[in-house]
Chains A and B, each alone.
Chain A
Amino acid sequence: MARGARIVGLAAAAGLALSACSVGEGVDLAGAGELDTDDYLRVAIAGEPDQLDPHNTSAYFSFQILENVYDTLVEPDENLEMQPALAESWEVSEDQLSWTFRLREDVVFHDGSPFTAEDVVYSYDRIIDEQLANAYRLSAVEDVVAVDEHTVRIDVSQPTPALLAAIGGYKGMAIVEQQNVESGDVQLDPVGTGPFEVAGNTAGTAVTLRANDDYWGEGPHVPGVVYRFISEGSTALADLTAGEVHWTDSIPPQRVNSLRQNPDVEVAGVPSTDYWYVTMNQARPPFDSPEARLAVARAIDREAIAQVTWYGNATINQTAVPETSVWYHEYAPFEQDPERARQLAESSGLAGETIDLMVTNEYPETVTAAQVIAANLSDIGVSTNIRTLDFATWLDEQAQGNFDMLLLGWLGNVDVNDYYYNQHHSEGSNNAQGYSNPEVDRLLEAGRTETDPDARKELYDRAAEQIVDDASYVYLYNPDVVQAWAPELQGYEARPDRAIRFKDVRLEEDTE
């Protein structure tokens, strides 16, 4: 029991008990203090994970850690193309309704138990049966079957070209161990098959990982990783420059450019798979008129917004998919054109209105961006009432359709379906703006089942153009992945999907 282990841990810390014995092999839940972590890689992330059960958390802070603890059947490489991981190979049946995965045979979990097809069945069944947060990713799955000990078959109801991305694009689809889940330990002391295992968990302070000596792949090359939670970016940078941590992504945007000048710090800058957008409530006038939406699309100054929010560390984009992705489609019909925007605003009845623009202080860039948008709109005769809410309230208001216009980002997609379907299909689960275009619905449905990659891309390119032309979303930019690390950290690469992988990194000795 994790609960029992924790009480033991507390007591040990207080010096009341002599040992925290028999809690999983060598797992120290009393805190990182009893481990010798001097040689460990020390990283600062911007927040504390809510829990470490990969199927139950949706917090990025959890996945920054879990990325190194768990494996999926397949995983995206740096170009976000799917590569073997726990599955060595796979094949799809003639009718496209059956995917068979051949599993690696040399994999063991951190507690020493072997990894088999049953673990895959258990993991996926758990997500589907308990309707966990990721169940939507497996909506096409009819059955998961262990064919033999090292072969697993996934049956789907319709051809599903995005299946690999669905099961591997995200550690929320990790393969978990049944016993670890059923004991409840998974929340704090998860057992995976990844390059590192959880070795200590001090609430509010740090999670410590230790290298998995039995890891099936290359690496790891550091004895462990200590994740500290430092939400204040200035503090995290002070820790980085003081040598207290080797890596951080807790960086205030206004510090990025000066950080690039610092020779003692490496800074990453690749466009991320995140995108930010403005959308308008099509259930309400005047935004039920496409003209009114296009007026906004032509009024806003994307460069200025990128400048105030990310100090230029963002790539302007008028569609969702970033240029680093194979699904990128170059399409940018709008230039800032106040004259044209004013005409559109007048003919659609938008001019002279006061618009409510809903933003959230959970994502401060929405608050700053809103100020630029308000200024842009006032140039075309529209006044804006910026409404800043905390995120919980924001989500409620969005769900109830209580907004004229809102601003938010969508974080981390791999397959192109995830960029468009839920947001712009009339039945999409995230279509809060109420967009409905039968042609787009048809294209998005066809894209879900088209198995020829070129034909599939063609479908999505057409859908994307129509979505942009109708201004269902007015896309702004893909922010850069901004991470900084000390020069002695070698072999680290920032990825567009923000997966933080430490299995290949080394710490060089100080060469004073």
Chain B
Amino acid sequence: MTSPLLRFLAKRLLHTAVVLLGVLVVVFALLQLVPGDPVRVALGTRFTQESYDALREASGLDRPLLVQFFAYIGNALTGNLGVSFRSGEPVTLILLDRLPATVSLALAGIAIALLIAFPLGTWAALRRGSAADGGIRAVSQFGVSVPDFWLGLLLIIVFSTMLGLLPPSGYVPFTEDPWGWLQRVILPGLAVGVVSGSIMTRYVRSAVLDVVGSNYVRTARSKGLPRRTVVGRHVLRNALVPILTVAGVQAATMLGGLIVIEVVFAWPGLGRLVFDAVAARDYPVVQGTVLLIALMFLLINLLVDILYAVVDPRIRVS
């Protein structure tokens, strides 16, 4: 039962695994090139040579590089990403702790971005050249240029300090308190969603414009189909493929790149984790986080590819 879709999936999965292995090798190699001694950072400024040697041995950093490397790859393949130099906790558990916060923020961000980009981008495209189009383009230009951390601080000042509507920071797991989660995700979600949505608005606009100008839409229109049907069934559906690509890239970027927003809103996600870990030269945590982010990036790409195949069956075959 080898349907084209299954064969397509198998090929993409294999591809994903190979890329992950590559990421593993590259990250390990790159960390060796970064100056800065993890043992010295962990000990602070006051310590004896004996303490230094003891911690170095305990962290396994005294072993030859190749031994460290093969041990790491071997363990990683079985899901053991080592233990943090700083806290001694298993990296896998640390990542599992942080993942929900990042995923929920990214989901909120991408949802807000889509809510902004779809209507505005379509609207602007369908009224190309009008005042509305100009306005939307100007606003999205502004949104693209605004740094997300600045927007974040502004949102805190307005909605928390001045209006007292929402808490300025913090995170509650959705599973524990959905209402508390929602209250706390709105502001950081807006901060990333507005920026991301502004970028996507422009893509939606040009994707819709491309389709509007194509022959089949002209045909559909000339058949006298209602405007709503033309836009909904023909224009948007076909514009979806390039938009999905951008949305996928944006979502993946959010999963790995929310460092500043996570710092501003005290959000316990992967961005802040990797930020701290790099500063402390906590190699196992850095490697594990990069690996996880790469994995999610690849999975999102996979998901986007599958969605393509669903939206546009021609892609499955080629």
Interface residues of A (CB under 8 A from B): 3, 6-7, 10, 13-15, 31, 33, 44, 47-48, 50-51, 53, 56, 58, 130-133, 135-136, 139, 184, 187-188, 202-205, 228-232, 234-236, 238-239, 241-242, 244, 362, 390-393, 395-396, 399, 410, 422, 429-430
Contact = CB atoms under 8 A, between A and B. Distances in A.
B53 interface: yes
A449 B36 CA distance: 37
B2 interface: no
A13 B176 contact: yes
B241 to A, nearest CB: 35
Given A135-B51, A229-B266, A422-B46, A205 B177 contact: no
Contacts of A133: 42-44, 46-47, 51, 55
Interface in B9-48: 35-38, 40-48
Contacts of A390: 36, 279
A135 B89 contact: no
Contacts of A53: 88
B311 interface: no
A187 B85 CA distance: 12
Interface residues of B, number: 58
Interface of B: 35-38, 40-51, 53-55, 86-90, 93-94, 96-98, 101, 153, 156-157, 160-161, 164, 167-173, 175-177, 263-266, 268-269, 272-273, 276, 279-281
Contact of A188 (B89, B153, B279): B89
Q: Ordered nearest first, which 3 A-B pairs have the shortest CB separation?
A: A204-B268, A392-B36, A58-B44
B264 A235 contact: yes
Residue picked from B55, B263, B268, most chain A C-beta under 10 Å:
B268
Nearest to B260: A232
Nearest to A429: B48
A136 B46 contact: yes
Given A33-B172, A48-B276, A234-B156, A187 B42 contact: no
B169 A204 contact: no
Contact of A231 (B40, B53, B98, B266): B266
A139 B265 CA distance: 44
A392 B38 contact: yes
Given A188-B87, A203-B97, A239-B168, 14 more contacts: A51-B88, A53-B88, A131-B48, A131-B50, A131-B54, A132-B54, A187-B87, A188-B89, A204-B98, A228-B169, A235-B153, A236-B266, A239-B169, A241-B161
B97 A391 contact: no
7 contacts: A56-B88, A58-B42, A130-B54, A136-B46, A229-B266, A238-B157, A244-B167
